[in-house]
Amino acid sequence: MNRTSYIGSLVFGLVLSLAVQASGVNLAAKWPAYWITCPGVVPTGYGVFHFRKSFSLSHQPARYLINVSADNRYRLFVNGVPVSQGPARGDLLHWYYEQVDIAHCLKQGSNTIAAVVWNMGEHRPLAQISCQTGLIVQSTAAGDSVINTSQAWKVMHNAAYTPATAYNYFAGATDSVDAAHYPWGWEQTGYNDRGWMDAALLERGTPYGSGTGYSWVLTPRDIPPMEETKQRMGIVRKADGVSIPGAWPAKNGRLLVPANRKIKLLIDQGFLTTGYPELLVNGGKDARIKLSYAEALFKNGRKGDRNAVEGYEMIKAPSDYFITDGGRQRLFRPLWFRTWRYIQLEIETRQEPLEVEDIYAMYTGYPFRENASFESSDESLQKIWQTGWRTARLCAHETYFDCPYYEQLQYIADTRIQALISLYVSGDDRLMKKAIRSFNRSRTYEGITDSRFPGYKPQFIPPFSLFWINMIRDHWMHRGDTALVKECLPGIRSVLSWFENKVDPQTGMLGALPHWNFADWAKPWPWSNEKPLGGVPPGGLTGGSSVLTLQLAYTLRDAVELLSLVNENDLAVHYTVLYQSLLKAVKKNCWNEKRQLFADDPEQNSFSQHANIMAVLSEALPTEKQGMLVSRIIADTSLVQATLYYRFYLFRALKKAGMANVYLKMLQPWKDMLALGLTTFAEKPEPARSDCHAWSASPNYDLLALVCGIEPAAPGFRSVRIAPAPGGLKYIKATMPHPLGMIRMDLSITGDRWTGTVTLPAGSDGLFVYKGKTQKLNPGKNRINYA
């Protein structure tokens, strides 16, 4: 853990290869390299292990590609420089490896390649699938085996680590490290590893189709490496037992903690972040250090003003522990990233003073770039945009996350919204494609997908399988990837078949559904520890739910389009008939003529926004009646109200009913969160568990897709439809990535007079639509002048 080893950028030198090389080792066949492990340890148990191999080169190569993977995770060094970490999370039948060019770290003469591999065992994150502890490194050059993992590698079990199982839901154990047992300098060339063991062989690396049995099916990584950028800490809001030097730790400085002293510091980052905190210390033998992390502080057991600290405290915060050994330049960095706005640093020294030389973080996340922009006459929207994008970024790593602080799980319903934000703000669809494929691979014998994947504990939320189909159609419309649709076609069929078999022949609606049929965290649909009822609408468990039946109809419209695309015409006709019968059944059983609303089930004792949102999106009512229905569900506060998540679908219903201009008036819940000091958007209105939930970042999509009105008019975004809904704004300036370039908008609005420009990338065309008027848009700059 020395300082030199951990400050280098992991992005530098990492090269992804999505195809087998034209020359060199045949990576589609069994690899010459073996998976290796540490002898004498429990294969599936908790442990941190260091592997090394020293070798000599006659000259520094211009290019030296290797493939590397591990179970559970690894960090790879060449001559002390970090060059890769992973593997990207997947499953055993799609176990990712990274391809890395390490030439820039090699030199003539003696070299060392080294990896730290850890297996959290029973303490691993719920998202971490595992077979057993192992490492594999393979040179891609034919005939070059010097670097390949074999018994020539050395290994040691690092006894400095024990798991600290602080309260952090499913994100896995935190770390407790005793520096006296740590092999300092282990990754450097000159380290003496004579006391280490020879690595034990497991099996040769096995890609898909190359073996008669599989522990890990090696698969090339399909996303870029995670960003890792140095980030200074914020300000000290509370200090007990010590004076703080200057602007430390926001600026460089040294903090001296006298011998036999207890101190406690509360550091406020100023905003929520994800990263690897790095604490560099000198001396202070046997000092006890504790780092605790919190999204928010609590007062009387509840969150409140996120900026306030007086009278507030951390509750059940995940914590790391570090016991110093008195050496210099001792760097503590947790094995996995942490999430925090507040860090509490507690230090208790013994007989020696301790010098904290520095504390900072290495921000990490998927390397999305903010290629879109939005500006308007309403300055409050800029704050919503910035906060939403931070929310989306913190919830995107090797997979999309529901939340970075708690579960770190990729849920389908969250991911659909996250993916659209990614497409519109960044333009990068690689994480979206990985997610679509991952959910496809999660399907079980029943036919539906897992609700969250990857993960070692199955969970089934059947409505999420429907949103997976919507997500495939989203990608097709925005990127035109027909091959991906064909790849997912068996899954689409199996999901639709599962639901079709659950239709009650008596009512024509969905009957009793097993598993957890979550729709939204609406207050009248409370959590239950006895039955899967939290967030489930009436009839969701026993049968007759109009919300879920109409959601099936809504998805069938997308599914029929996809089936027709791949010439599954008979099946498309079959599901068109089912779609029509579902709408007829819901209208017959759940339409309340007096209230002019759809009830939640045939009993008609409960009415929600949700059922009527899905009625609009599925076209259960004719187009001319949809506007009145949407007006009704907005005005009627007696209805079960959609929370932040389901408002995404409420806003889709607004647009479909021609009422998108109302959207900006409905952003008060997001403004309320900002008023409370949140720097990301929460899972739901207060009281919220998670302060960072990407489904609540939907305004970043809506400001472009709804307010600016930018949407694909043809698959692959070949044609663009722009139908702005300014909602009283005086001007709109926006940019948005498109597969062929950038879309730009600069419009001024005075009453019904529109002036400005819309610019489309070369190779595209489109229409500008406003109040029934249309204007053809050509590639390049188009002048808009409506009166």
Rounded to whole angstroms, how far apart are CA atoms 471 and 478?
11
The pLDDT > 70 percentage for the chain reads 96
Helical spans, DSSP H, in 402-452: 412-425, 430-441
pLDDT in tens, 414-467: 999 999 999 999 999 999 999 999 999 999 999 999 999 999 999 999 999 999
Among 743, 117, 170, CA closest to 478: 743
For residue 517 the two structure tokens come to: 């049929």
Q: Is residue 769 a contact partner of residue 709, using CB atoms and an 8 Å limit?
A: yes
CB 220 within 8 A of CB 18: yes
Is it true that 3-224 and 228-365 share their CATH fold? Answer: yes
Dig out the tokens for 68 from the structure. 């590397």
741 phi and psi angles, rounded to 5 deg: 155, -135
Selection from 684, 663, 763 nearest residue 403 by Cα:
684
CA atoms within 13 A on the CB side of 276: 24
Which token pair is 519?
Answer: 């729709």
> In whole angstroms, what is the distance from residue 749 CA to residue 732 CA?
8
Q: Residue 204 and residue 197: Cα distance in Å, rounded?
A: 20
Phi, psi of 468 (to 5 degrees): -60, -40
Evaluate whether 541 touches 517 at the Cβ level (below 8 Å). yes
The CATH number, out of the four listed (3.30.70.100, 3.10.20.600, 2.60.40.1730, 2.60.120.260), of the domain defined by the range 3-224: 2.60.120.260
- CA 7 → CA 80, 104, 229, 586, 720, distances in Å? 11, 16, 9, 60, 44
The encoded tokens of residue 504 equal 């009650």
Domain positions in the chain are 3-224, 228-365, 731-786
Give the pLDDT score at 705.
Answer: 98
421 CB-near residues (< 8 Å, 6+ apart): 388, 392, 694, 697, 698, 700, 701
Q: Is the peptide bond before 458 cis (omega within 30 degrees of 0)?
A: no
Look up tokens 């957890």; give the residue.
516
Q: H or E element: which one contains 146?
A: none
Residue 478: closest CA among 403, 521, 563, 419: 419
What is the C-alpha to C-alpha distance for residues 520 and 515, in angstroms, rounded to an integer?
A: 15
Q: Does domain 228-365 have CATH number 2.60.120.260?
A: yes
Return the structure tokens found at 70.
Answer: 């591990």
Q: What is the DSSP string of 613-670?
A: HHHHHTTSS-HHHHHHHHHHHHH-TTSBPP-TTTHHHHHHHHHHTT-GGGGGGG-HHH
pLDDT value at residue 752? 82
Rg of the chain in Å (alpha carbons)? 28
pTM of the model: 0.95
Contacts of 742 (CB under 8 A, 6+ apart): 371, 735, 736, 759, 761
As given in the structure block, the two tokens for residue 238 are 């509370």
Residue 586 to residue 597: CA distance in whole angstroms? 11
- For residue 751, what pLDDT is reported? 86
CA dihedral 758, 761, 766, 769 (to 10 degrees): -20
Tell me, what's the pLDDT at 529?
87
Residues of the chain with pLDDT under 70: 1-24, 166-169
Rounded Cα distance between 419 and 436, Å, is 10
Cα dihedral: 503, 508, 509, 512 (round 10): -50
Give a three-class secondary structure readout of 678-712.
CCCCCCCCCCCCCCCCHHHHCHHHHHHHHHCCEEE
